[in-house]
């Protein structure tokens, strides 16, 4: 029997368990779950036979270095800002690291040191980034191998409630904090469209949303996700006049979200009146009155002010947004607001009250790549690749599984000596992405391709 492999798993968030469950299957892995609060680590480790829990503060360099050195590979599922610190400890100990995060400049700087140490620092192996790379590069490389060119590349991914669970005005639900989702609405977008570099400021992001047609059953819209302009170089598609990667939501989300943006709810400036030190009860009509700078806290007057912030002129959409505002209760004198210090965080608390997944509700991930291809003989066609997966009621969510399982697969392949490219790497070449992609279908993760 092969020697036991020891894995350090940093973090116990929602993607950690599918990763741990996958790694337990070999029967030859021992996993140490490490969190700052040992109770969190114990909660996860106690579910699995070959898992133990430790308390670890990753900002304690000596403790981190000791823990990393005691294991064959470290999986870092903690905030991305800590990955470079983990990698430095791994380089010192000459041990491998796996993350699901984008390679940051601080991580990329460690590439030469990682190669010199002979270790693999595998990154971008979740869903987005991760699975999106695998299925995009599969088609891109097939087209290139056949002498063709990619003239346009569009990739949109959405983590959404399953249709039957999308039962609120935003058509969205949260598995964890709403803050990250709302802050993403402030991000600028940059991409290539018809040969022109398009730059969209965060305040205008929701205005740029457009329909994304995948299956007739889904009313989806998409908008650019940060800077995807460099993917022409990264994916080696220099002829692509359009190159965009974006996020998907259900129809109606952008208009409603833009109304909240126009009201000023993405403001994260600390406010004394919203702090826990503020005296008295804080009701929602008073929060919205302060935000809009109005003299009255009358729900009817506040609603009129909010209606003026709705940009769309489509009467049906306007009607739905007004209904959504009432549903949120943000003009109500009877609903108490949580004192979270900022308008952003007060809104997050309200969204989390109303929009968390309920028992038995499923989530869904949907990912579409769309390519316009010029073949070797000069003919043209469109190729698509669609990944669609639903969560298990009261089990793993689709998002947790599609992030955690690819991470687990990559870790196991490193331990088995089947991934060997050293340095700070991502699944950008066939020697890395093909072995991972080969194992995904048995986990219920695949892509349906069409050419037309």
CB 36 within 8 A of CB 11: no
The β-bridge relationship of strands 220-224 and 242-250 is antiparallel
Using alpha carbons, select from 124, 125, 118 the residue that is nearest to residue 422. 118
- For 72, other C-beta atoms within 10 Å of its C-beta total 17
- Is 416 noted as a catalytic residue in this protein? no
Q: What is the DSSP secondary-structure string of 340-368? A: -SSHHHHHHHHHHHHSBPPTT--EEEEEE
Rounded Cα gap, residues 17 and 396, in angstroms = 8
Please state whether 204 falls in left (phi above 0), alpha (psi between -120 and 50) or beta. Answer: alpha
The β-bridge relationship of strands 73-76 and 96-99 is parallel
CB 270 within 8 A of CB 346: no
Bridge partners of residue 51, in order along the sequence:
31
Using alpha carbons, select from 73, 134, 105, 100 the residue that is nearest to residue 14. 100
Residue with tokens 């005005």: 169
What are phi and psi for residue 98, nearest 5 degrees?
Answer: -130, 135
Which tokens sit at 256? 């409603």
Could you say which of 60, 111, 128, 416 is catalytic?
128
Bridge partners of residue 373, in order along the sequence:
150, 381
The β-bridge relationship of strands 210-212 and 51-55 is unpaired
Bridge partners of residue 370, in order along the sequence:
154, 384
Active site residues: 128
């Amino acid at each position: 029997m092969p020697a036991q492999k020891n894995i350090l798993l940093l973090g116990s968030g929602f993607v950690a368990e599918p990763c741990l469950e996958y790694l337990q299957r070999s029967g030859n892995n021992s996993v140490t779950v490490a969190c700052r609060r040992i109770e969190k680590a114990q909660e996860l480790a106690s579910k699995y036979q070959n898992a133990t829990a430790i308390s670890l503060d990753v900002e304690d360099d000596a403790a981190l270095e000791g823990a990393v050195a005691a294991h064959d590979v470290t999986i870092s599922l903690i905030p991305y800002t800590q990955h470079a610190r983990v990698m430095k400890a791994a380089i010192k100990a000459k041990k491998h690291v796996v993350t699901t995060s984008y390679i940051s400049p601080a991580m990329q700087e460690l590439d030469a040191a990682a190669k010199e140490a002979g270790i693999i620092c595998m990154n971008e192996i979740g869903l987005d980034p991760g699975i999106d790379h695998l299925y995009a590069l599969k088609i891109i490389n097939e087209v290139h191998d056949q002498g063709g060119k990619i003239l346009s590349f569009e990739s949109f991914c959405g983590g959404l409630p399953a249709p039957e669970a999308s039962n609120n005005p935003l058509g969205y639900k949260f598995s964890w904090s709403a803050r990250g989702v709302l802050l993403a609405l402030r991000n600028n977008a940059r991409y290539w469209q018809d040969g022109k570099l398009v730059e969209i400021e965060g305040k205008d992001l929701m205005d740029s949303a457009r329909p994304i047609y995948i299956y007739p059953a889904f009313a989806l819209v998409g908008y650019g996700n940060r800077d995807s302009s460099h993917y022409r170089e990264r994916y080696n598609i220099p002829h692509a006049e359009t190159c965009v990667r974006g996020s998907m939501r259900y129809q109606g989300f952008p208009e409603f979200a833009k109304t909240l943006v126009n009201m000023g709810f993405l403001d994260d400036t600390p406010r004394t009146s919203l702090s826990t030190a503020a005296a008295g009860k804080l009701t929602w009509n008073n929060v919205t009155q302060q935000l809009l700078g109005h003299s009255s806290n009358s729900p009817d007057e506040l609603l009129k002010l909010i209606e003026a912030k709705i940009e769309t002129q489509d009467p049906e959409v306007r009607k739905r947004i007004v209904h959504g505002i009432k549903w949120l209760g943000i003009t109500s004198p009877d609903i108490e607001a949580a004192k979270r210090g900022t308008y952003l965080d007060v809104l997050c608390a309200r969204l989390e009250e109303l929009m968390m997944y309920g028992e038995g509700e499923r989530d869904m991930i949907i990912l579409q790549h769309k390519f316009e291809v010029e073949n070797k003989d000069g003919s043209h066609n469109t190729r698509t690749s669609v990944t669609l997966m639903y969560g298990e009621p009261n089990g793993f969510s689709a998002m947790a599984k599609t992030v955690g399982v690819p991470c687990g697969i990559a870790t196991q392949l490193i331990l088995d000596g089947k991934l060997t490219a050293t340095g700070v790497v991502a699944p950008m070449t066939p020697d890395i992405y093909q072995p991972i992609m080969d194992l995904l279908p048995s986990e219920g993760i695949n892509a349906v391709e069409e050419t037309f």
